[in-house]
Amino acid sequence: MSHNPIRPWRNIERRVSRQIRVGKVLVGGDAPISVQTMTNTLTTDVAATLEQIQRCAVAGADIVRVSTPDQESTFALREIVRESPVPIVADIHFHYKRAIEAAEAGAACLRINPGNIGDAKRVAEVVRAAKDHGCSIRIGVNAGSLERHLLEKYGEPCPDAMVESGLDHIKLLQDNDFHEYKISVKASDVFMAAAAYQQLALATDAPIHLGITEAGGLVSGTVKSAIGLGSLLWFGIGDTIRVSLSADPVEEVKVGFEILKSLGLRHRGVTIISCPSCARQGFDVIKTVSALEDRLAHITTSLSLSIIGCVVNGPGEALMTDIGFTGGGAGSGMVYLAGKQHHKLGNEGMVDHIVELVEKKAAEIEAAEIEAAGAEAALAV
């Protein structure tokens, strides 16, 4: 909400972590919390994989992970990396040689699962390849694939076992003088994942990749991820996130940004504040909001828009948004700009008019940001 001051009770103090690089994207430290997703195409279908990556990048994905289960996939990865608009993380399971091949293919990061990748000697070979080709590594601990000795020790997957697994593999990387790593401790159980991440955050200064693994479908998985990731982010834990949904990867990106936007941790695109609608509404709120979400999806500039059906809460919400529309009577409502009444607007054609206002405001914000950046650069010289 660009025209309002930041409230101190909104501030989130992020955990201090080291910073690493995933291609051109910085992760950890004071870098913005990055949003990731993962392709679900066959990696060997290069055209389909690149098309999906491109759609995810347009939606805002900072990093995209690609599975490399076999040699044919790591061979295809070379072209995918070359054509991708965002850094590519190679997802490795079971065979350490796939990690070496992915590094040679130009992957920006290698995701290895400690419970599956093999012994210390194999990890050392992966580290050597990562060093040679400038890759970072994500240690990806998963409750569903913990090492056998930890399951025997703890009796079942649990936060203690997950964190111990992660710390053991951090030591393996450090013993090989490798420090460009981040780590995740994922579980499909929200409580287990949250507890593991809280322990992990106290035990290491490594950047943390957040995720509730196998969260479910679009609605159930979104709710589950918002609870799990949101609670951790609220307490400053997390440097990069992936929302795991049984849905189009683009939806994962959208949900990831909505979680970050709701906590004020990233600002991208139009935030629409809208009422659920009731008998008081002066126009069809649900239909209008749906149309506006589609029509404004292309805007990346951060600004806020309130669409409220009646005057009970409409004027109050409009005070806190860049642009607002409040339903009235007789087929018209009131447009607010920067929290102030500006002009009346008929319900017919309101979507077109609001889109025009938002696009104009976005252009003004972009121009101001460019001018400010130019002034700052001039002062630096």
Give the DSSP per-residue string, 30-47.
TSPPEEEEE--S-TT-HH
Alpha carbons 186 and 10: distance in angstroms, whole number: 27
Mean pLDDT of 213-236: 95
Closest CA to 22 of 130, 140, 97: 130
Least confident of 115-124, 140-149, 278-287: 115-124
Question: Does the pLDDT of residue 62 top 60, yes or no?
Answer: yes
Write out the two tokens for 133. Answer: 């080709």
Least confident of 202-211, 249-258, 330-339: 330-339
Q: Does 156 carry a binding-site annotation?
A: no
**Number of CB atoms found within 10 A of residue 41's CB:** 17
Percent of the chain with pLDDT over 70: 96
Q: Does 310 carry a binding-site annotation?
A: yes
Question: Does the pLDDT of residue 83 top 50, yes or no?
Answer: yes
Give the pLDDT confidence score for residue 114 in this predicted structure. Answer: 63
Question: Does the pLDDT of residue 77 top 50, yes or no?
Answer: yes
Q: Does 275 carry a binding-site annotation?
A: yes
Give the pLDDT confidence score for residue 9 in this predicted structure. Answer: 61
For the entire predicted model, the pTM comes to 0.90
Domains, the chain, with CATH or none: 12-262 (3.20.20.20), 270-378 (3.30.413.10)
Buried b / exposed e over 206-228, threshold 16 CB at 10 Å, is bbbbbbbbbbbebeebbebbbbb
Q: Does 317 carry a binding-site annotation?
A: yes
Question: Does the pLDDT of residue 1 top 70, yes or no?
Answer: no
Mean pLDDT of 170-179: 93
Give the pLDDT confidence score for residue 7 in this predicted structure. Answer: 60
